[in-house]
């Protein structure tokens, strides 16, 4: 629990990029699928709560980066998300930005003597 709350703090800033990146790898995904994908690939290190995920998805949709389609599955309406053309480009730039940021953070977190070496 402790672990997940701390991770949530960092996840909040990168969630948009994570979602875009996942959607770039798949044709279309629905909300629960995204959370499962994140949980599986990180071995549960990052757990997305629906309370955090859906506002991000809706915001991206409003920005015109995502398209939605509702399909009825098992008697329930399932909302699938897919990237628009512009969403694809944004996913690429944001992923690059995040990678550079992580590199920078890694440099900062590394012991000072190692970094200067």
Partner 1 sequence: MKRLQENRIDQISKYLQAHKLDPELLPEILDHLACEAEESLWDGKPFEQIYRDMVKTADAQTLLNLSVDHQNLLAMEKSLNDIVFENRNKSYGAYDLRKGYGQTVQRSVVMGVAFFLLLVMLPQLYARLKPDPKPDDIAYIVEANPVDIKMEELPKPPPVEEEIAPAPKTVKSLTPEVLPDELVEIENLPPAIDELENAQPSTETVDGIANLDVIVPPVENVPSAKSEATGVEPKKEETFTAVEQSPQYEGGTEAMAAFLRKNLKYPRPASQAGIQGKVYVQFVVGSDGKVENAAAIKGIGFGCDEEAVRVVKMMKDWMPGKQAGIPVRVKFTLPIAFQLD
CA atoms of 98 and 86, how far apart (whole Å) = 18
Which of 62, 61, 103, 106 has the alpha carbon at shortest distance from 82?
61
- Residue 25 binding partner 1, by CB under 8 A: no
Please give the structure tokens belonging to residue 103.
């590199």
- Residue 24 binding partner 1, by CB under 8 A: no
Which of 84, 82, 68, 80 has the alpha carbon at shortest distance from 30?
80
- Residue 70 binding partner 1, by CB under 8 A: yes
Output the smallest distance, CB 108 to partner 1, in A: 32
Output the smallest distance, CB 17 to partner 1, in A: 19
Output the smallest distance, CB 56 to partner 1, in A: 9
32/101 with CB nearer partner 1: 32
- Residue 50 binding partner 1, by CB under 8 A: yes
């Amino acid at each position: 629990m402790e672990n997940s709350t701390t991770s949530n703090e960092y996840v909040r800033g990168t969630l948009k990029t994570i979602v875009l990146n996942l959607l770039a790898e798949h044709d279309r995904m629905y909300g629960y699928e995204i959370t499962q994908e994140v949980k599986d690939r990180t071995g549960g290190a990052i757990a997305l709560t629906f309370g955090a995920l859906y506002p991000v998805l809706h915001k991206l949709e409003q920005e015109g980066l995502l398209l939605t389609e509702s399909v009825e599955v098992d008697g329930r309406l399932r909302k699938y998300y897919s990237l628009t053309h512009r969403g694809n480009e944004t996913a690429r730039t944001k992923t690059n930005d995040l990678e550079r940021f992580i590199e920078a953070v890694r440099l900062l977190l590394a012991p000072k003597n190692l970094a200067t070496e």
